[in-house]
Amino acid sequence: MNRKKIGLMAAGLLLAVQTAIVPGVQAAPTGEIEIILDGQTLQSDASPYIVQGANVTMVPLRVISEGLGAQVNWSASSGTVTITAQNKNISMENGAQSATVNGKSVRLDASARMSSGRVMVPLRFVGEELGLKVDWQASERVITLSSGKEGTSTSGNTSSVGSSSSTSNSSASGNQETVSTDQGTTANDEQDVVNTPSTSTKEDSSSSSQGNMAQVKATTSMRGAWISTINGDWPSSAARSSSEKQKQEFTKMLDDLQGMGINAVFVQVRASGDALYPSDLVPWSKYLTNTQGKNPGYDPLKFMISESHKRGMEFHAWFNPFRANSTGTTSGLAANHVANQHPDWIVKNGSQLYINPGIPAARQHVIDAIMEVVNGYDIDGVHLDDYFYPYSGTFDDDATFKTYNANKISNKGDWRRDNVNSFVRDLGKSIHASKSKVQFGISPFGVWRNKSQDLTGSDTKAGVTAYDTTFADVRTWINKGWIDYVAPQIYWSIGFPAAGYDKLVAWWSNEVKNSDVKLYIGHSPYKIGTPEKGWQSAQELIKQLELNENYKQVKGDIYFSAQHLRKNPYGLIQLLQNYYQL
């Protein structure tokens, strides 16, 4: 690997993330710090700064990821940055007092940290570990990096820029650098239902600012956005015949989202038994070309992952598992679509076609399709939405119930839940057997069960529930550890009579309390400005985020959806920027 590129990456890595400052740490006096590698000035979209007391210069991750040559990964779920170059593997955990270099613990003078959606790391430590000479000219505020390839010397007295930053040893998996923590999940892309209020306990909140330096709330928290293909987040109808327009739209969307604090995207790569990537099992999505099965001329998934990781954002592949078509016919479906290849697996439900979860071979087909992506792409997570069994209408699976009921389950509801449980268990095992660091999470309907149906349920009066309507036995998934995170779609306002946001956050926090399963909350910015109680102001969403700070179990948030964030209803973008202290 080119030493110059490694040095650039190291410098860039350190330059990009500076907003999340730990209490008591301040930036150096005013005056830009210039970083020069082998005679060339390194550019960054964020200024380097010095951690006073430790005398350590911090720089961001993004510069390193954009052409500096070393492999840089950021895992939001573990809060760990990993830098790999030649024979060196450096791992630093957000806020830890040591780093791991090729498996050995090394003390740090200043810890890696998150700031304004950027991961900041100590320049001297990373540079020297990558074989660079690092010199600091205090009078000129210039840091000179030399790889020995281009004899760039520094004159005058040089003094150390400090050593390192504290961070512990947990290496990130194939997850590229991202500004988030845990994995997020996707929201129901076509439906919405009910809710009510609750109590909280303060934890996991923001730290106060020290001096003139702002500190960041929940600096490694998940801040995700769902990007729906079926609902028009991306690509737009105008871009369906142009790969270049699709690329431009996606990169602009990422920049917009990152600008408001989003550090992870959950992209719907399978909407209706199709794909946003070349597949041996399912056809190309019609949302790319207006024709299902037509090759768009590039690999959208590969492009989207690359662009997300360049920006330090996590990329989660969102799959709608059992919806076969959003219309009730096979018209327009490609020859290799599951509804044409296996019509016996398909159940018509109202105006939609579903893959029957009760058929073992059908479940395995969906798992195989998902595993194509897990095995073939550098994704940070697999995300499922709430499409298991439909919310309403008739689902004719009587014959399936009789034919595929090896456990002799007498109640059809229990049998359906067993089918979904088998699917979730088997998919989770497959994902983690292939890539243990890929997160697997699900975004169920926001109400598991009402207390009137189950005394352990929530104090709500929802018309539908995850357990009884979609047959999603989320409690079992959590207790068995089959999923890494759960992201309930809590799409109602605080104090909403039927299902209050506050009551539901309290309930879900308690549900995951004694487990290793992370809790992300699914939010509904699409409701801002609607007549529904509580949504006449964008401040409702900020109040929800503030309420979440009372629950240490809440590890982040996911917003439905990208287009509704970008529409900036009632000044939402500025409110989010203020909340995330950008």
> For residue 417, is it within any domain?
yes
The span from the CA of 263 to the CA of 261, in Å, is 6
Together in a domain, 141 and 229: no
Burial class of 203 by CB neighbour count within 10 A (0 to 12, 13 to 18, 19+):
exposed
At 370, the pLDDT band (50, 70, 90 cuts) reads: very high
Can you give the CATH number for the domain in which 49 is found? 3.30.457.10
Residue 410 burial (CB count, 10 A): 8
Q: What angle in degrees, to the nearest 10, is found between the helix axes of 572-579 and 539-548?
A: 20
- 450 and 346 assigned to the same domain: yes
Q: Do 573 and 537 meet the contact criterion of CB atoms below 8 Å apart? A: no
Q: At what angle do helices 360-376 and 412-434 cross, to 10 degrees?
A: 20
Q: Which two tokens stand for residue 27?
A: 């930036």
Summary mean pLDDT of the chain: 82
pLDDT of residue 116: 54
| Same-domain check for residues 110 and 243 | no
Q: Are residues 240 and 141 in the same domain?
A: no
CATH of the domain at 407: 3.20.20.80
CA distances from 352 to 29, 124, 287, 327, 396 (A): 62, 58, 17, 5, 13
Q: Which pLDDT tens digit goes with each residue over 79-96?
A: 788 888 767 888 888 777
Instruction: Indicate whether 442 and 535 sit together in one domain.
Output: yes
Q: Is 292 domain-assigned?
A: yes
Closest among 111, 158, 133, 105 to 11, alpha carbons compared = 133
Does 325 map to a domain? yes
In a domain, 494, yes or no: yes
Contact 22, 215 (CB under 8 A): yes
Whether 108 and 236 share a structural domain: no
Question: Same domain, yes or no, for 421 and 533?
Answer: yes
Nearest 5°: phi and psi at 12? -65, -40
Which is higher by pLDDT, 50 or 330? 330
In a domain, 171, yes or no: no
Residue 161 located in a structural domain: no
% of the chain surpassing 90 pLDDT: 62
In degrees to the nearest 10, what's the CA dihedral of 244, 249, 253, 259? 80
With respect to residue 202, please indicate whether it lies within any of the assigned structural domains: no
- Work out how many domains the chain is built from and give that number: 2
**Residue 119's pLDDT is what?**
77
Q: Identify whether residues 250 and 124 lie together within a single domain.
A: no
pLDDT tier, 245 (very low <50, low <70, confident <90, very high otherwise): very high
Q: Which of 98, 127, 146 is the last residue of a domain?
A: 146
Domain that holds residue 87: 3-146
The per-residue DSSP string of 360-380 comes to: HHHHHHHHHHHHHHHHHS--S
- Does residue 54 form part of some domain? yes
Beta bridge partners of 418: none
> 231 and 137 in one domain?
no
Question: Which pTM value belongs to this model?
Answer: 0.67
Angle between helices 501-512 and 539-548 (to 10 degrees): 30
Looking at the structure, tell me whether residues 459 and 549 fall in a common domain.
Answer: yes
User: Residues 430-471: pLDDT tens digits?
Assistant: 999 999 999 999 999 999 999 999 999 999 999 999 999 999
pLDDT-derived band at 375 (thresholds 50, 70, 90) equals: very high
User: For 195-238, how does the pLDDT look when each residue is reduced to its tens digit (9 = 90+)?
Assistant: 333 323 333 333 333 322 222 233 469 999 999 999 999 999 99
Tokens of 237: 């109808």
Question: What would the pLDDT profile of 378-410 be if each residue is shown by its tens digit?
Answer: 999 999 999 999 999 999 999 999 999 999 999
Question: Do 47 and 138 fall into the same domain?
Answer: yes
Q: Where are the alpha helices (DSSP H) in 221-320?
A: 243-259, 286-289, 300-310
Q: Are residues 121 and 251 in the same domain?
A: no
Q: Given a cut of 60, is residue 156 above it in pLDDT?
A: no
Q: In what order do the strands lie in the sheet with 34-37?
A: 40-41, 34-37, 142-146, 133-137
Which residues lie across from 143 on neighbouring strands? 35, 136
Out of 118, 146, 174, pick the residue that ends a domain.
146
Helices (H) and strands (E) counted in the chain, each on its own, are 15, 24
Tell me: pLDDT of 187 over 60.
Answer: no
pLDDT of res. 348: 97
Task: Among 146, 164, 186, identify where a domain stops.
Answer: 146
